[in-house]
Amino acid sequence: MTLTEKDYDMPHEKAWCPGCGHFTLQKVLRQALADLEIPNDNLVFVSGIGQAAKLPQYTKGHMFNGLHGRALPAAMAVKACNPNLTVIVDSGDGCSYGEGGNHFLAQMARNSNIVQIVHNNMIYGLTKGQASPTSPKGLVTPVQVNGVTNEPFNPLAVAIAMGATFVARVFAGNMEQTKEVIKQAIQHKGYALIDSFVPCVSMNKINTFKWYKENTYELESSHDKSNQQMAFARALETGKYPTGIFYQNTNKRTFVEESSAYKHNSSPLYERTLDFGKLQKLIDSKRF
């Protein structure tokens, strides 16, 4: 049966503000899933806390919603237990780069075969609009009344420097490019980061849909995404933000491929029978 984006939609009301960029990103994501013909029962969404983290509740498939910033460890465990699943982490810039910052770094080192889509609206959109790690310097908020003084976190530069195997940025308003990048990220073998500019119409009146449209441009087709140094240089650009796939490495082994649990047995962990004798022997040895 041919799948369409409607096959991934949950019919209940979405608790997002009218005009919120999350609607656009959700629509594009569902289109990408339909194009790849990924069945709902083979799809797992994992999220933390925030407006962006509600997307899995509105998308038909399996889901796990955890603590703020703690989506990546849960996603890694899901993929390790059943490598045949398509696992997508979906959360905001605060959840992913603030509370979840250490997990973000660890995931790039482990290279789990999962996709992380970060709804980056440069603000905490759920908790009344205080500055997030990616908020621009000088932005005035109800908390930062004299303007943000921190340098904004650059997730792409960090990811490329850490050797993440797929690093991309999109603007949700550029729907065609966003869909294609999501499809390539899902098909990539290894950890894939998509930093997605998504306007917050209620809490961020500076970085609007119009602002993102005027301050982004697509990477040239000639961009060499296998060149890590070139990708890093492009990630540092701030006048206008390039979008597209900055870096991709298809030669690095994944977390599951490196795991001893799969060294001599390729069957998913959830299908295996637990040997209680070996477990008790391990406990008695105190080698843990």
pLDDT digits (tens, 9 = 90+) for 40-49: 999 999 999 8
Q: Residue 248 has what pLDDT?
A: 98
3-state helix, strand, coil split of the chain in percent (to 5) is 40, 15, 45
Strand partners, 87: 44
Q: Which domains does the chain have, with CATH numbers?
A: 5-285 (3.40.50.970)
pLDDT bucket at 106, cuts 50 / 70 / 90: very high
Phi, psi of 256, deg, nearest 5: -65, -40
Nearest-CA neighbor of 22 among 184, 287, 164, 202?
Answer: 202
Residue 1 has pLDDT above 70, yes or no: no
Q: Model pTM?
A: 0.92
pLDDT bucket at 116, cuts 50 / 70 / 90: very high
Nearest-CA neighbor of 90 among 127, 129, 62?
Answer: 62
Taking all residues of the chain, what is their mean pLDDT, rounded to a whole number? 92
Q: What is the mean pLDDT of residues 139-155?
A: 90
pLDDT bucket at 34, cuts 50 / 70 / 90: very high
Q: Residue 279 has what pLDDT?
A: 83
C-beta neighbour count of 214 within 10 angstroms? 10
Residues comprising the chain, all counted:
288
Q: What is the mean pLDDT of residues 173-191?
A: 97
Residue 242 has pLDDT above 90, yes or no: yes
